[in-house]
Chains A and B, each alone.
Chain A
Amino acid sequence: METPLVEMKNMSISFGGVRAVDNVTVDLFPGEVVGLLGHNGAGKSTLIKILSGAYKADSGEILINGEEVHIHSPRDARSYNIETIYQTLALADNLDAASNLFLGREMTTPFGFVDDDAMEAETRKIMGRLNPNFKKFHAPVKALSGGQRQSVAIARAVYFNAKILIMDEPTAALGVHETQMVAELIQELKKQGLGIFLISHDIHDVFQLCDRIAVMKNGELVGTAKTTDVTDDDVLGMIILGKCPPGATPGPGALVEEAAAS
């Protein structure tokens, strides 16, 4: 059996007595898209922020390519080629596209000064590939549309050769056309062998894009399933009731009597 790209084993984290993530285990294989589902406050974003280095777990271990790693900061996560596209986009509004793309990893001249022209040239190259209509290289990101901003955020992840990509509601702020663009991009990245965690509320998106799903409720894992083994209604049942259908592997958070009945 293939080694998973990422394994998060028995992760837990509490905030002031609230167990935001409680003993959750998920994994991700190369070339796979795993959808993380659940209500607001189910702990999806928190779980993912542990992987991206924004939060530090109270307990649990993270394995990358089968080896245990310790991620204490976003910088650590980046060193394992984990890139994150946040729901809130995490762009500095007052800076232009190139500055945002290279934020924290600026290209420098031999004298150690920031090389804006080189960064702009690289940005033009990658944006030409991702979003050929993108022209506003000198405007602050604030002046861009939702889709343009999203393409800057995605370009950032792609440019630095992410192996593991975390997308927190990448299409939430986008129109139909732009959503389609992101969907195509995800397919493209999958082909290149990236593993993608996708957080989404849109069941339709999830079935279209994901190979597997993991459903969380109240910080616990309800269960995981292949999207081919379950129906929309099954997934809704998992999200709303915590009921684990026959096609899924139940987790610690599955409704007990239902699990026993099946």
Chain B
Amino acid sequence: MSDSALPGEKSPAARNMFAALQLDTRLLGMIGAFVVLCLVFNFVTDGRFLTPRNIFNLTIQTVSVAIMATGMVFVIVTRHIDLSVGSLLATVAAVMAVVQTDILAHPDVLGLGHPAIWVLALIAGVLVGVAIGAFQGWMIGYLGIPAFIVTLGGLLVWRNVAWFITSGQTIGPLNETFTMLGGIGGTLGESASWIFGILAVAMALWLQIASRRRKASHGFPVKPAWAEITLGLITSVAILGFVAILNAYHIPAARLRRMFEAAGETMPEGLQVGYGIPYSVVLLILVAVAMTVTAQRTRLGRYIFAAGGNPDAAELSGINTRFLTVKIFAIMGGLCALAAAVASARLGFSTNDIGTLDELRVIAAAVIGGTALSGGVGTIYGAILGALIMQSLQSGMAMVGVDAPLQNIVVGVVLVLAVLVDIIYRKRTGD
């Protein structure tokens, strides 16, 4: 068994330093590609791409697809596929819109603008999403219908169930609190964003220290101290830098003045207030953390990856792979519901064509993020980064003024190229 080594292009010392950091080289490659992409767009657009404003917009545009992409990782890891996510999103968006505008807002129920409407609508949506996902998972796991077929059927069915529910009308305007989930309409503000950032840094560092202690207590080799400190610094700077950028996007003066007027106060001259982290991004971060913990630290996650690596082995180890399939698709359905909330809140309405082609964006994000269609391999952060790369490409090209057909051609080519690079990488590392 040879320790598959890369052709030695780096000096041994440099490679040792890299090895000590124990970084995921695939992740680094993706981050590298993303940085290059941003720099190129920034150069071509004369610095308009990497402004706080554009970065803010990029993040809120990515959220809906990124939330679903984390679920798609589980689906693809277990060698399934879900083509119905875009349609499922539409159905759930329609349900949530009808629940909040027609049912809950009715004077006999809660009445227009009741503070509980948004959360009740969201719960209803998540329940519907989980139920539909579990139903599709049941057909795949227990009836043995291939996921491709079940969800291809779902693609047609749920798109038109949405149409049926709304009679093809655009439903809205949605509840005001609910629309705060959409992005620019609901942000933490500067101080809360800083607190959130500092808590996140504290959490990350604590996890790092706890992991090191645990390893040391079992007598396992640990990274050298300088490597740990470097990693801790990188994480902290990345988190706080992100907060700083989102805080640097200021609420336009006219809008700020209106907000002060609405509160019956006058705006002090020269006041600048940053938006901070949008609620939708907070939601994405919570989803990402929950899904990563599930993937790496729970039995469910372990079984998902085992079933993806060798379904027979999983079965023979006493894992109920059928029920596992139901759970995976139920999670996917729940995440579609969250994505539907964000997407419809961002528009302020539930439209008939909401989420169209999202299934392709979501699958592409997961695959660009390193999820292997052959199963068993994939990461949550990879999928989110994949979604971000896709969105950056799309918005960057739009800013540069690339024609619409060319934009889609480029995105398609990038998807195929990303997978090719991944295949070559895996062959080289024997991974």
Mark A residues whose CB is within 8 Å of B: 52, 54, 73-75, 78, 84, 86, 88-95, 99-100, 103-106, 108, 112-114, 116-118, 120-121, 140, 143-145, 148
Q: How many A-B residue pairs have CB under 8 A?
A: 88
CA–CA, A72 to B377, complex, Å? 31
Q: For residue A57, give the distance in angstroms from its CB to the closest CB of chain B.
A: 17
Q: Assuming A73-B318, A114-B302, is B310 touching A92 (CB within 8 A)?
A: yes
Question: With A78-B318, A88-B312, A117-B220 in contact, is A93–B376 under 8 Å at CB?
Answer: yes
Q: Is the CB of A120 within 8 A of B302?
A: no
The contact of A148 among B1, B4, B299, by CB within 8 Å, is: B1
List B residues at the A interface (Cβ < 8 Å): 1, 4, 214-215, 218-220, 293, 296-299, 301-303, 305-310, 312-319, 376-377, 430-431
What residues of A have a CB within 8 angstroms of the CB of B303 in the complex? Answer: 104
25 A-B pairs with CB atoms under 8 Å apart are A73-B318, A74-B317, A89-B313, A90-B317, A92-B313, A93-B376, A94-B308, A94-B377, A95-B302, A95-B306, A100-B313, A103-B306, A103-B313, A103-B319, A104-B318, A105-B318, A113-B298, A114-B296, A117-B218, A120-B220, A121-B218, A140-B431, A143-B1, A143-B430, A144-B1
For the complex with contacts A92-B309, A118-B218, 5 further pairs of A-B residues with Cβ separation under 8 Å are: A93-B309, A94-B310, A95-B302, A106-B302, A143-B430
Q: Please classify the interface of chain B as helix (H, G, I), strand (E, B), loop, or mixed, using the class held by over half of its residues.
A: helix
In the complex the two chains form, what is the Cα distance from A120 to B310 in whole Å? 21
Chain A residue numbers with a CB within 8 Å of B215 are: 117
Q: Is B298 within 8 A of A84, CB to CB?
A: no
C-alpha spacing A95/B309, complex, angstroms? 8
| Contact A74–B315 (Cβ < 8 Å) | yes
A90 & B306 in contact (Cβ 8 Å cutoff): no
- Residues of B with C-beta under 8 A to A120: 218, 220
List residues of chain A with CB within 8 A of the CB of B314: 92, 103-104
B76 to chain A, nearest CB (A): 13
B377 nearest CB neighbor, chain A only: A94
Choose one: B293, B301, B310, B315; the contact of A93 (CB below 8 Å).
B310
- Are B376 and A94 in touch, CB under 8 angstroms? yes
B305 partner residues in chain A, CB cutoff 8 A: 92, 94-95
Which of A84, A94, A148 has the most B CB atoms < 10 Å from its CB?
Answer: A94
> Complex Cα distance A78/B308, Å?
23
Closest B residue to A141 using CB positions: B309
Question: Are A90 and B309 touching (Cβ within 8 A)?
Answer: no
Instruction: Give Cα A54 to B314, complex, Å.
Output: 12
Which of B218, B306, B313, B314: most chain A CB closer than 10 A? Answer: B313
